[in-house]
Structure 1
Amino acid sequence: MTELNFRRHRRLRTSANMRAMVRETQLDKQDFIYPIFVVDGENVRNEVKSMPGVYQLSLDLLGEEVDEVASLGIPSVILFGVPDAADKDAEGTGAFHDHGIVQKATRFVKERQPDLLVIADTCLCEYTNHGHCGVIENGIVLNDKTLELLARTAVSQAKAGADIIAPSNMMDGFVAAIRAGLDEAGFDHIPIMSYAVKYSSAYYGPFRDAANSAPQFGDRKAYQMDYSNRTEALREAASDVEEGADFLMVKPALSYLDIVRDVKNNFDLPVVAYNVSGEYAMVKAAAANGWIDEKQIVLETLTSMKRAGADLILTYHAKDAVRWLEGKA
């Protein structure tokens, strides 16, 4: 046989220990942010039909959930408020009320688990009776009038004890408005985790079930990004960096790993990938039908997000992922 000249890459794959020794990307529980949906009322534990294992929880049942998160070593949660329909109005005033559901939940979590970082989702869509992320006039979301309400929301969340403000509305100038509002209120130490690159995506469907936040007319394409665009993401992220963002989030994650890498390569801030509800729901549905190995699919998917450049991953799989990584399930 003719002598061949080639590299033997398989030498580094010969055993589990060898593969672990040279593994380039490592998932860790410190990477995860766990989302929680909080509702008014008592003894409410509503499983989201399209998101098995995810629940809307009232404050009296929230303690068990955050205790479990803390016991697993997950360092942070993000709180989404689900107010009663009767409390919604045209300007989403429940978002910035001192006794709003996120504000109450934030105080509860910080008292119960003071070391757990609380991230407050800062948007209006869950609180408006029209389901859009801002003030509506003649069927159009008004950018600049919305900014004032977002700043008020961020300040009220910081007053309640939120460690990080996470605005998800995609209004132009939202980071600048929120940064100015926080600084003027004495919260210059509170970082902003900007949903810097948020696409208009069909992957959000189950979340809108969980948060009761679907728009009552039209869609959000006039303010969320067109999923066909790539360079626009860098313009969006650059604006948020200039305005004072401390983290840059890309949402969704799985179909946008190229964007995660672009953001990582171009900016020196921590990058967050949001493993969104539709991505979660598809895995759960396929696993329930026995078509995939849920554990292996989830860990592979989350690793791909970190490999693409995510420093943090916001995921509904967080609790299960920690158990799997630590051999507890």
Structure 2
Amino acid sequence: MAKYPDHKCAVAPMMDWTDRHCRVFHRQLTRRTLLYTEMVTSPAVIHGDRQRLLGFSDIEHPIACQLGGSEPEELAKAARIVEDWGYDEVNLNVGCPSDRVQSGRFGACLMLEPELVAECVAAMKRVVSIPVTVKCRIGVDEQDPEPALDAMADAVVAADVDALWVHARKAWLKGLSPKENRDIPPLDYDRVYRLKARLPHVWIGINGGIATLDEAEVHLAHVDGVMMGRAAYHDPGVLADVDRRLYGEDAPAADPLRAVETLMSYIEDELARGTRLNQITRHILGLFQGVPGARQWRRILSEDSVKSGAGPEVVRAALAHINRVALDMQG
């Protein structure tokens, strides 16, 4: 098995959230964190608008594309396209619990078919040179997580998977909504730790409910990487300290204010291409979480960025408010 890169931290793939604008913003805060696309299905990659689905900025590296699917040859074709577009990794979704995913026979329901997942991994590995990884749950429905996770891990390791990211919850395909599946099934971090202890030679990362870098450091004593989801999205300031805390390197932006300032040229370029301001600013609403003036920051961006013709001046006005509050507090 080839050595997987040192991805101690990743931002989870999140539908409707981790689009290209979100990823460029996150990259202002951290150079080292692995960023993921939203899940895209293999048929969409093959037949759809690839610029819309796969387009990204060079600044986003390292970046992984998450695929949804269950047809080995189809996934192989999509993985080859993903590699040709310049992605650093291709990841197979074996964790999403939505009804649409189940009807398409991919996502979390594949926990019931580890050998099929292994075939998919092997097919992708045959045609690409970038890492092929899997993101799974610890089990679904009535499965016992002990044999279920072991079966999945053993199958994909036999197929030469490069890394396994494990969301440390079951998914309940019957009776819970996708939103409920992110909160209600209890977290079982110890189950993932046991998997790593059993397979010390396999790169294993953990996901689920990780909200702080203190928590991340606890997990990194047991596994190889941590994946943050909603916490990183709603309070992106947490990413500003990842490079220093987890990699011993300087962050690209000294503080969140600097991160917004460096994002401004991207905003201006995107507006010139026809992107609406709110498509970008919706991802930066949580940046000043807990900072005096944050409510007004969110209000200005939420109300004014949706207006016709809204431009960079909206972000500058919101930023000026944060600066004024800071100066008032110093005075």
Q: TM-score, normalised by structure 1?
A: 0.51
Aligned to 1:149: 74
CA contact (8 A) 2:121 2:159 kept: no
Secondary structure (helix, strand or coil) at the match of 1:255 reads coil
Mapping 1:216-231, distance limit 5 Å: 221=141, 226=143, 228-231=144-147
* 1:322 pairs with one of 239, 247, 251: 239
Whether 2:56 is the aligned partner of 1:108: answer yes
State the one-letter code of the partner of 1:113: I
Structure 2 CA distance for partners of 1:118 and 1:105, relative to 1, 3 Å: farther
Provide the rounded CA distance (Å) in 2 between the counterparts of 1:303 and 1:159.
35
Q: Is the 8 A contact 1:199 1:252 kept in 2?
A: no
Q: Do the aligned partners of 2:73 and 2:123 also contact (CA within 8 Å) in 1? A: no
Partner of 2:133: 193
Judged with a 3 Å threshold, the aligned counterparts in structure 2 of structure 1 residues 233 and 73 are, in CA distance, closer, same or farther, namely same
Partner of 1:250: 166
Structure 1 segment 86-101 matched on structure 2, within 5 A: 93-97=43-47, 99-100=49-50
Residue 217 (structure 2) aligned to one of 291, 294, 303 = 303
Match for residue 24 of structure 2 among 66, 82, 102: 66
Within 1, Cα distance between the matches of 2:90 and 2:240?
28
State the distance in 2 between where 1:311 and 1:236 align: 18
**Aligned in 2, Cα 1:92/1:157: closer, same or farther, shift over 3 Å?**
closer
| Post-superposition CA distance 1:94-124 (Å, at most 9, x none) | 1433634xx6454423xx316x111111214
Counterpart pick for 2:12 among 24, 32, 35: 35
Q: Does 1:159 align with 2:84?
A: yes
- RMSD value over aligned CA atoms? 3.4
3-state secondary structure, aligned to 2:213:
helix
Question: How many positions carry a matched residue from both structures?
Answer: 202
The structure 2 residue matched to 1:264, chosen from 196, 201, 218, is 196
Q: Which runs of 5+ in 1 are unaligned?
A: 1-28, 40-54, 83-90, 125-133, 135-145, 201-220, 281-296
Q: CA deviation at 1:37?
A: 4.9
1:120 pairs with 65, 69, 83, which one? Answer: 65
Does the 8 Å CA contact 1:193/1:248 hold for their aligned counterparts?
yes
- The structure with the greater share of residues assigned to helix is 2
SS in 1 for 2:65: strand
Tell me, in whole angstroms, the C-alpha distance in 2 between the residues paired with 1:65 and 1:33: 11
Partners of 1:98 and 1:156 within 8 A in 2? no
Query: Within 1, Cα distance between the matches of 2:25 and 2:219?
Result: 27
Shift of the alpha carbon at 1:33? 0.9
Distance (whole Å) between structure 1 residues aligned to residue 133 and residue 42 of structure 2: 21
Q: How does 1:1-12 map onto structure 2 within 5 Å?
A: none
> For residue 166 of structure 1, what is the amino acid of its counterpart?
N
Q: Aligned in 2, Cα 1:35/1:249: closer, same or farther, shift over 3 Å?
A: closer
Could you say if the C-alpha distance between residues 92 and 74 of structure 1 is closer, same or farther in structure 2, counting changes exceeding 3 Å? closer
Distance of 2:165 and 2:39 partners within structure 1 = 20
Partner of 2:276: none
State the Cα distance separating 1:182 from its structure 2 match. Answer: 4.3
How far is the alpha carbon of 1:271 from its aligned partner?
0.9
Question: Measured at CA, do residues 175 and 154 of structure 1 come closer, stay the same or move farther in structure 2, by a change above 3 Å?
Answer: farther
Report 1:276-315 matches (<5 A): 279=209, 298-307=212-221, 309-315=222-228
Q: Does the 8 Å contact 2:139/2:145 carry over to 1?
A: no
TM-score, with normalisation over the residues of structure 2? 0.51
Equivalences for 1:12-27 in 2 at 5 Å? none
User: Structure 1 residues 245, 66: CA separation in 2 closer, same or farther (over 3 Å shift)?
Assistant: same
Q: 1:190 to 1:238 in 2, by over 3 A?
A: same
The one-letter code matched in structure 1 to 2:59 is Q
Distance 2:31 2:167 in 1: 24
CA contact (8 A) 2:8 2:225 kept: yes
> Which structure 1 residue ranges, 4+ long, deviate > 6 Å from structure 2?
none
Q: Secondary structure at the match of 1:248?
A: strand
Identity of counterpart residues, as a percentage? 12
- Equivalent residue of 1:113, what SS? helix
